[in-house]
């Protein structure tokens, strides 16, 4: 019965979006989308829904609040310079808000490469925090490099004017945003360091303790000499104890681009922990995913066209056993969601690459790792697209693509 109710909830969300509840004259593209509401799973009643964005919308990033409201940002427009929109949906599929443009400067968001899209986080007192990689240099002429942009909103009707947080950073990439229930907000990215070369690239952070009203000047997040892969994404999140976690790809020499975990408690950053090795001489343009559980943080990433995952022990700072998704293919851009019972959904893209779309895939397991369901063909993912998974409070999951 619970599983059937979860299926109905997830199906309602599919129907709501497929019948154009995102529709807004301000959003580029044709609404509703052409892909009908569809369930993908090994058996009928699987509590996983896969939802296509309306035509012209890509790069969903979704989170769920305590009231089961889904908050999502997505990109529309030209990949080299488009716009970020924000919308809310109820768990039963009702649209709760009209899509609102996040960026106050038209065309100031970048989608090319799939690793630079907007990210969203929910903070204290209902604040919505969004950060994204700029598409062009600042219009005021203060710099020649594109900035890391940030905007916040206290409601669903408008966002405050966007602000650059990256200061004098050159060659930035891979930004992420995280917020907690105490009013802390962190925006992170990587950029050129004091010396040239990827092995000197630095992870930078701008911090706020007043819900994003003000931020500290950008500063290196760690002094560890591990470098950063020049065109890979990052993922940041606060855990329930207030520690900030950042998953990203290091570049310590010309051959190593390992996945690393950086944990920052207050003003103290632990040395980055190497999570998984990868010997490669070129940038793989990969992204990362994090989701908190009762026993740590589930992390997912790409290594050699395969999606791997593990549990990061936040108390000991140690990495649990690393496992790969069953099967093989050209896999990228993971997303992770964990429900209240500990079931874990990992979603990813199959076959996507530079200027090439693919398909969505997902795998659902219980808290012990036993497989519940899987789909390796959960619908098309457009060029520069990716997936975003969320868990609802009734235990069901939605994968946006």
Residue 197 neighbours by CB under 8 Å, 6+ apart: 227
Residue with the bigger pLDDT between 397 and 253: it is 397
Percent of all residues in the chain with a pLDDT value above 70, rounded to a whole number: 87
Mean pLDDT on 210-216: 97
Reported as a pLDDT band with limits 50, 70 and 90, residue 8 is: very low
**Domain enclosing residue 256, as ranges:** 2-400
Mean pLDDT, residues 248-259 taken together: 88
Average pLDDT, the chain: 86
Concatenating the DSSP letter of every residue in 182-234 gives TS-EEEEEEE--SSSSGGG-EEEEEEESSTTSS-PPPEES---S----TT---
- CB of 77 closer than 8 Å to CB of 27: no
pLDDT in tens, 55-96: 899 999 999 999 999 999 999 999 999 999 999 998 776 778
Across 197-211, 233-247, 264-278, which has the greatest mean pLDDT?
Answer: 233-247
CATH number at residue 373: 2.120.10.10
Number of domains composing the chain:
1
């Amino acid at each position: 019965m619970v599983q059937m109710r979860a299926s109905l909830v997830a199906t309602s969300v599919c129907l709501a979006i497929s019948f154009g509840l995102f529709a807004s004259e301000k959003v580029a593209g044709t609404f509703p989308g052409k892909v009908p509401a569809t369930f993908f799973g090994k058996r009928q009643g699987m509590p996983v829904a896969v939802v296509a964005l309306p035509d012209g919308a890509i790069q969903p990033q979704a989170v769920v609040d305590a009231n089961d409201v889904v908050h999502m940002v997505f990109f529309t427009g030209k990949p080299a310079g488009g716009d970020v929109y924000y919308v809310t949906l109820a768990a039963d599929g009702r649209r709760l808000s009209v899509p609102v443009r996040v960026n106050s400067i038209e065309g100031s968001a970048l989608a090319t490469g799939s690793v630079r899209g907007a990210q969203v986080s929910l903070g204290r007192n209902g604040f919505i925090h969004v950060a994204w990689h700029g598409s062009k240099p600042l219009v005021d002429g203060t710099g020649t490099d594109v900035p890391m942009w940030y905007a916040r909103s206290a409601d669903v009707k408008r966002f405050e004017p966007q602000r650059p947080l990256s200061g004098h950073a050159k060659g930035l990439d891979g930004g992420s945003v995280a917020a907690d229930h105490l009013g802390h907000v962190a925006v992170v990215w990587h950029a050129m360091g004091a010396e040239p070369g990827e092995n000197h690239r630095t992870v930078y952070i701008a911090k706020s303790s007043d819900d994003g009203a003000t931020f500290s000047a950008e500063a290196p997040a760690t002094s560890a000499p591990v470098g950063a892969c020049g065109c890979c994404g990052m993922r940041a999140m606060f855990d329930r104890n207030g520690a900030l976690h950042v998953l990203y790809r290091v570049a310590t020499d010309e051959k190593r681009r390992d996945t690393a975990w950086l944990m920052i408690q207050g003003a103290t950053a632990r040395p980055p922990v190497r999570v998984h090795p990868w010997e490669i001489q070129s940038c793989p343009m990969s992204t990362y995913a994090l989701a908190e559980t009762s026993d740590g943080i589930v992390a997912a990433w790409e290594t050699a066209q395969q999606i791997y995952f593990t549990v990061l022990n936040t108390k000991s700072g140690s990495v649990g056993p690393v496992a790969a998704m069953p099967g093989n293919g050209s896999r990228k851009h993971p997303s992770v969601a964990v429900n209240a019972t500990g079931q874990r959904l990992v979603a990813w893209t199959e076959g996507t690459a530079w200027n090439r779309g693919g398909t969505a895939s997902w795998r659902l397991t219980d808290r012990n790792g036993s497989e519940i369901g899987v789909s390796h063909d959960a619908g098309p993912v457009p060029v520069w697209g990716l997936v975003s998974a969320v868990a609802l409070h009734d235990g069901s999951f939605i994968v946006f693509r």
